[in-house]
């Protein structure tokens, strides 16, 4: 399937065009300030169809963070593109790669980088199924290296981090929820408040702030 591209400014407008892989893409020879070639790295994202229609401020989640990653990449000998795995053309190994420019987010057909950093945060179930199914096909084909993988639950991560003397002082006080009594004891010992997050949650989904009210009960709110 040809890669379909949309040159977009901040409002998501622009002329559509198609590119059948890298053979029709503009050749890129990104180099560092000292003239050395930069190694490409792909940041995996889940595109928002609302952006193309002008109904979203950014083409994917974490756009500001990804923009900063792209800006920092050349200092480490890298050039970064963001792309949705669903844009990958298996015949030509091309993807629709996003770059942050002075004109806003732009995308063009580029060769799929072999190094991949997973920042897939789909907005809905359909986007999730599309992006993750495409990533699974890419990995089954081979030739791609995923730099990060799935993490265990937060309790296991905290336990692993606490074994590092340099990191341990930076960790927030934390404990697993073991029922109502454990929560009440925690709130009493921690100044009357608690911040709860699902052990397997992400990006704040399901987080809850609890605080003692003047009447002795608990007030709850989403952060």
Residues of the chain with pLDDT under 70: 1-36, 51-56, 201-204
Reported as half-sphere exposure (CB side, CA atoms, 13 A), residue 67 has a value of 13
User: Distance (Å, rounded) from C-alpha 169 to C-alpha 50?
Assistant: 42
Structure tokens at 13: 């407008």
pLDDT computed for residue 221 by the predictor: 83
CA–CA distances in Å: residue 5 to residues 42, 74, 82: 17, 25, 13
Domain extent listing, the chain: 3-146, 172-221
pLDDT computed for residue 25 by the predictor: 46
Structure tokens at 195: 């911040």
pLDDT computed for residue 171 by the predictor: 92
The CATH number fitting domain 3-146, selected from 2.60.40, 3.30.1360, 1.20.1440, 3.40.50: 3.40.50
Strand pairing class (208-212; 193-196): antiparallel
pLDDT computed for residue 21 by the predictor: 42
pTM of the prediction? 0.65
């Amino acid at each position: 399937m040809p890669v379909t591209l949309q040159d977009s400014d901040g409002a998501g407008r622009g002329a559509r065009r198609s590119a059948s892989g890298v053979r029709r893409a503009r050749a890129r020879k990104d180099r560092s300030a000292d003239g050395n070639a930069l190694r490409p790295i792909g940041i995996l994202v889940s595109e928002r169809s609302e952006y193309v229609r002008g109904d979203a401020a950014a083409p994917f989640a974490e756009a500001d963070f990804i923009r900063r990653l792209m800006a920092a990449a050349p200092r480490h000998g890298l050039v970064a593109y963001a792309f949705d795995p669903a844009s990958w053309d298996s015949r030509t190994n091309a993807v629709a790669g996003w770059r942050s420019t002075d004109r806003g987010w732009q995308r063009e057909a580029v060769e799929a980088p072999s190094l991949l950093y997973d920042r897939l945060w789909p907005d809905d179930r359909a986007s999730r199924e599309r992006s993750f199914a495409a990533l699974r096909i890419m990995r089954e084909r081979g030739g791609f290296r995923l730099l990060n993988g799935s993490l265990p639950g937060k309790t296991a991560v905290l336990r692993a981090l606490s074994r590092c003397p340099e990191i341990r002082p930076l960790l927030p006080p934390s404990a697993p929820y073991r029922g109502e009594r454990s929560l009440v004891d925690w709130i009493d010992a921690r100044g009357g408040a608690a911040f709860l997050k699902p052990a397997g949650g992400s990006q704040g989904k399901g987080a809850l702030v609890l605080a003692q009210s003047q009447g002795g009960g608990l007030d709850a709110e989403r952060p």
